[in-house]
Structure 1
């Protein structure tokens, strides 16, 4: 895995741990027993496991799934092999894990906003009667303080990217959690939702710098007349002066059969 990718995942993990709903995590963890395997979808380097496992009994086993071989190699160096099985699968087309694990509980973090409505509908067909915790799904666009004249145009570009195809068909992006909740209700479930917004400041400088640079890079790839270099420079200067704050809406969802 490249160093920039590793740095991003590490910085995001720190903030996600702070913002996640401990309430929903504890309720999900209470259902974990030796007879119920935890399946982590889009596991990355194992951040979701590292957050949830300490809240569970030590005899709980995990199946960690991702499509990225380099990321899974990194995960294999940090996750305990005695309790975590790592598998490379393409969840965009391979739904076999849901039928292969009939007594499992399913979880994911920073994943759902990448998938399409069709994927969610099929996913719910398999998991509506299983314990399900979907954490840290983006439900909106960045809200900067102070506001910049280019924020709204930049956010339009970001939303186009959020709703583009990330391998699962055109993504629902910020509408993914609402779609999942609606589909679960249609199957008779009663999902719980909690706001888990990122609230970032100069204390989160490493992640803030990566977000500013990443947003600028994304906008440069999108045709349009945006003074992105000037915007990026202003945001870095505001961050250096500890004058910049960012709220990015997220939600956690728990469904218990």
Structure 2
């Protein structure tokens, strides 16, 4: 799986939290409302943003296992979670965080979700979560993943899966061509085989529905403006770099588009959240 820098994850975190679909998060919280404590496995956890975005809706006692292929990111997650908490204690390899009324125990595990998926899910958590992960995965991996969850009746809450929408203001003549080329890049191999890209949420949803799970989907777009100038510029740079790699559009057109986009008034990047659970 492709890695992500701690700086990029920190830059996007406020937009991620603002975009998260509140109705779906509330539904997840309601599903577990009767439980005194909850065990959660967070896949592709990065620097721990998904925990920080989800914890408030979940029971007061939570045990999170953060799983990532990048051991350096897991170390960053521990640092950022310790700084974020009201109080922090170390218990062996675990962190015990106090945040408001919540007591959150955090463990980290390095794993390859291609090779180690069934081992990770074998820990039998109450809930599996992920953020900004499944558009990187292949259709075959997503179907394997759904089958593994269904076999153990494990619910899934995943957020911020890219859905293919990009709207910038003002518009640029190359927008449509650039988006088509970007989507081609999105379907390249990101470490799980040919990536599902913008189709990932529907592929996963269909796999869960066929197995009898209830599935809810909610929109969670980034809606960016002047206050997110640095993030918009970083998005434009990454977008242009991906298109350049495809060879589908000449470098001058990409450069002209990028110059315009780095000074855009606003931008929307579409995402979807998904909540799948046994019934």
Question: Common fold, TM-score beyond 0.5?
Answer: yes
In 2, distance between residues paired with 1:89 and 1:37? 18
Q: Which runs of 5+ in 1 are unaligned?
A: none
Query: Are 2:64 and 1:62 aligned?
Result: yes
Taking structure 1 as the reference length, the TM-score comes to: 0.90
Instruction: Quote the offset at 1:103 in angstroms.
Output: 4.2
Instruction: Identify the residue that residue 232 of structure 1 maps to in structure 2.
Output: 258
Task: Report 1:1-257 matches (<5 A).
Answer: 5-30=5-30, 31=32, 33=35, 36-79=38-81, 81-82=95-96, 83-128=105-150, 129-223=153-247, 224-226=249-251, 227-236=253-262, 238-239=263-264, 244-257=265-278
Are the equivalent residues in 1 in contact too, given 2:162–2:197 (CA < 8 A)? yes
In 2, distance between residues paired with 1:103 and 1:201? 38
Taking structure 2 as the reference length, the TM-score comes to: 0.83
- Which range moves more in the overlay, 195-204 or 28-37? 28-37
In 2, distance between residues paired with 1:154 and 1:95? 35
Tell me: CA distance 1:26–1:72, structure 2 relative to 1, closer, same or farther (3 Å). Answer: same
Q: Which has the higher strand share?
A: 2
Cα shift readout 1:31-56 (whole Å, capped 9, x = no counterpart): 17456410101001000001111222
Instruction: Quote the offset at 1:29 in angstroms.
Output: 2.9
In 2, distance between residues paired with 1:196 and 1:99? 26
Q: Which runs of 4+ in 1 moved over 6 A?
A: none
The 3-state SS of whatever aligns with 1:170 is coil
Tell me: CA distance 1:98–1:71, structure 2 relative to 1, closer, same or farther (3 Å). Answer: closer
Q: Which runs of 5+ in 2 are unaligned?
A: 83-94, 97-104
Instruction: Quote the offset at 1:220 in angstroms.
Output: 2.6
Q: How many residues align?
A: 249
